Amino acid sequence: MLHRHSHHLHFAALKNKELDALYITIAVLKLGTGLISVFIPIYFWKLGIPLWGIIFFYFLWSIYSVIGTFAILPLIRRLSDKIMMALGIPLLIIFFLLLNNIESMNFLFFLAPIPYALYHPLFFGGYHMNFSRVSDKGHEGEEIGIKQAIVSVICFITPFIGGVLIVSFGFQITFLVASIILLISIIPLFFFSKRKLASHLTAKSLLNTVKDRPMKGFHIGTFGYVTESMVSSIVWPIFLFLILGNIEKIGIVISLGFLLSAVAVFFAGRLSDKGKRNAIFSWGSISNGATWIVRTVAWTVPVAVGTHVVGSLFQDITLYAWANRFYELIRQKKNKELFILGQETLYRGAQILIYPFMIVLAFFLPPDTFSSPFFVISFIIAALASFLILAAEK
């Protein structure tokens, strides 16, 4: 009995050490990506690419990601979650380096989404597989909350620093700085245990996860989540740039949003483990949708800044509840790896359906000013999508 108890304590300590290493990896990764990721749509905009062309870039990314996931399945079957993450990070660095040269080599616009597309199933597939195994059952809410809070704290300062770097040295130097930091994020992976994936990962089994009845509500909510995220990450930064007119100011505004959400998400994690997750999910999604409705008339700087800060809080709370629900469902699955990759593929598949509509909308309603009908329609779509996310809790 004593030996068994000692073994259990050793295993628990090992899991905690691995969870700490996972937090460090995510923190350093977010430190690197936070410098530049939010500014990528603005980078394209300043290169003279119209918004419909920017959305087309991400449309290519989603297509490449779905095709790439199926193409590398034979490779993934041979990898551990640790190696998947380690292979994903260099692909993200390659993506940044290709973006860095698009202005001089225009054809890279069509090639740059490829490494970014492969990065997602490898890194995030490996990450979700690892977290689902090392997190403590019954304390997932707090652990996800801690992770989200760490990310928000890191992200609090990085957009501001990124904005200063871009204004002072240009996008090219900022891409390089981000790439160097990403290399450092690989180091904590050496403290991970290797967990081999199951050999049942096939294209057919991956597609069958979409038909899984217990996941039906979550799949419906996925379309809302993906749509709202698309407007938030591509359209909203362009709107902020048009209304603020300065990259450095955008960095400050985005940093303020992350600071407030860091505190909110941490306490949301504590409340979730006490049985309040449904309420958090509902109020977060509804409030986020209401914020998007207010943004349809956010034509002054104070209103735009205020809705960004408040919206960031509700977005992160919703994301937290979303992730919590996801891990709860995954824990019930015998083939966790299969459903994790299936969900990653579903995300990109949903984007393939949504992006063409947004491309056509941006083409016929070019957003030349922040009061363009395109932005109003996009924000209404994001609001409706936020309400659709509620289906994930059913």
Contact (CB, 8 A) for 55 and 355: yes
CB atoms within 10 A of CB 333: 17
Tens-place pLDDT, residues 293-312:
999 988 888 898 899 888 88
Mean pLDDT of 106-132: 88
Mean pLDDT of 332-341: 78
pLDDT of residue 295: 94
| DSSP E strand stretches across the chain | none
> What's the angle, vertex CA 280, arms to CA 277 and CA 283, rounded to 5?
145
pLDDT of residue 2: 39
pTM, full prediction: 0.86
pLDDT of residue 44: 95
* Residue 20 Cα to chain centre, angstroms: 20
Dihedral sign (CA 15, 91, 241, 348): negative
CATH numbers and ranges of domains, the chain: 19-185+214-393 (1.20.1250.20)
pLDDT above 70: residue 142: no
Tokens 């205020």 sit at which residue?
Answer: 306
- Please compute, for residue 20, the number of CA atoms within 13 A of its CA located in the half-sphere on the CB side: 7
What φ, ψ does residue 147 adopt, rounded to 5°? -60, -45
Please state whether 275 falls in left (phi above 0), alpha (psi between -120 and 50) or beta: left
Q: Is residue 80 classed as helix, strand or coil in its secondary structure?
A: strand
pLDDT above 50: residue 7: no
Tens-place pLDDT, residues 27-72:
888 888 888 888 899 999 999 999 999 999 999 999 999 999 888 8
Contact (CB, 8 A) for 179 and 96: yes
The rounded mean pLDDT for the chain is: 82
**394: exposed, middle or buried (C-beta count within 10 Å: 0-12, 13-18, 19+)?**
exposed
pLDDT of residue 37: 87
pLDDT of residue 148: 62
pLDDT level of residue 231 (50, 70, 90 thresholds):
very high
